[in-house]
Chains A and B, each alone.
Chain A
Amino acid sequence: MPTTDHVVDKRAFQEWVHAHTGDLLRYAKSRVREEDVAEDLVQLAFIAAWEGRKKFAQQSSPRTWLFSILKNKIADHWRKAYRDPVVHGLEPVDAAFFTGDDRWAPGHIPVEWGLDGPDQEEQMQRFLADCLQQLPTHWRAAVEMKYLKEKNAEAICQELGITATNYWQQVHRAKVQLRECISSKMTKNHH
């Protein structure tokens, strides 16, 4: 057996599993729709890490390395979802938010949220999580790819097979939708 096999041995690797599964799973669950998919992605990431353990450079922390592998697995997941032709053609249009002359439509004009207090952040995260679940799949995919930040926009466009314009416009429509959804939850919450 080559000596490099001992760089990360099985016992050390098992300690990584115990030490990092919680954080990796929490991260994955916030970035995909289904919990069991999140678990599968974490498992796939650990298997890939084990199989590629010779590539693990000691100077990088196990946590950083495992996270970068997980992010790639999440990107793969959304790339596949994006390419699923079933989801296309179902997208709502942002036209509903604007008048014929492209002003904000009545009832959709953004009004400052007036955020106060750190306890509000937790609530906002809950609202965001709910609203993300309501996005059409390929908009969600575009958003997730952007915030994984493992790849630059150019590489993402190439992988998704779309133009740069198409890509930022999809992220934009998704954000308009998210803003509207979060706003309505905040309004309900205040009354």
Chain B
Amino acid sequence: MHTLLLSCRKAAALIERRSFAPLPAGLSVQLWMHTRICAGCKAFQHQSEVIDTLLEQRGNGVDAVSTAPLEQRIITAINDKN
């Protein structure tokens, strides 16, 4: 018989593992129960989702950078190609 109580360390790891593949049903229930009673892991779960979104959205900003020199280098490299 296995314990119903996950440790925080294990719960935190399962939160990430779940984003790669579905958890077995038993683990999924244990994780759900853990995050209901553990504020730390609940916050961890939220923050993990925020970080996922931030990671996905990187580089979508509109900060202006001058790319003219790079564009010229690329065009020169292409011109050298034939």
Task: Choose among A43, A125, A129, A172 the residue that contacts B70 (Cβ–Cβ < 8 A).
Answer: A43
* Residues from chain B with Cβ under 8 Å of A111 in the complex: 40, 43
Q: How far is the CA of A172 from the CA of B20 in the complex (A)?
A: 11
Also in contact, A102 and B10, with CB within 8 A (given A26-B63, A50-B81, A125-B57): yes
Contact A153–B20 (Cβ < 8 Å): yes
Q: How far is the CA of A96 from the CA of B66 in the complex (A)?
A: 43
* Residues from chain B with Cβ under 8 Å of A39 in the complex: 70
Contact B12–A176 (Cβ < 8 Å): yes
Q: Which of A22, A39, A50, A115 has the most CB of B within 10 A?
A: A22
| CB of A72 closer than 8 Å to a CB of B | no
* Residues from chain B with Cβ under 8 Å of A103 in the complex: 7-9
Q: How far is the CA of A124 from the CA of B7 in the complex (A)?
A: 29
Also in contact, A102 and B7, with CB within 8 A (given A21-B70, A179-B44): yes
How many A-B contacts at CB < 8 Å in the complex?
Answer: 125
Contact B71–A128 (Cβ < 8 Å): no
Contact B67–A110 (Cβ < 8 Å): no
- Taken residue by residue from 104 to 115, chain A's Cβ proximity to chain B (1 for < 8 Å, 0 otherwise) reads as 100001111101
| CB of A101 closer than 8 Å to a CB of B | yes
Contact A175–B16 (Cβ < 8 Å): yes
* Residues from chain B with Cβ under 8 Å of A175 in the complex: 16, 48, 51
Task: Choose among A17, A121, A171 the residue that contacts B75 (Cβ–Cβ < 8 A).
Answer: A17
Contact A43–B54 (Cβ < 8 Å): no
Q: How far is the CA of A62 from the CA of B78 in the complex (A)?
A: 17
Q: How far is the CA of A140 from the CA of B37 in the complex (A)?
A: 32
Also in contact, A25 and B81, with CB within 8 A (given A110-B43, A168-B17, A172-B13): no
Closest B residue to A22 by beta carbon equals B67
Contact A179–B9 (Cβ < 8 Å): no
Interfacial residues of chain B within 57-82, with CB under 8 A of chain A in the complex: 57-61, 63, 65, 67, 70-71, 73-75, 77-79, 81
16 extra interchain contacts, Cβ-Cβ under 8 A, other than A110-B40, A179-B48? Answer: A14-B75, A17-B71, A25-B65, A42-B74, A43-B74, A102-B7, A102-B9, A104-B41, A125-B57, A128-B55, A168-B16, A169-B13, A172-B16, A172-B17, A176-B12, A179-B44
| 29 pairs from A and B in contact (CB 8 Å cutoff) | A10-B78, A13-B78, A17-B74, A18-B71, A25-B70, A26-B60, A42-B70, A43-B77, A46-B78, A47-B74, A47-B78, A102-B7, A102-B8, A103-B7, A103-B9, A110-B40, A115-B50, A121-B54, A128-B55, A164-B20, A164-B21, A168-B16, A171-B20, A172-B16, A175-B16, A176-B12, A178-B51, A179-B51, A183-B47
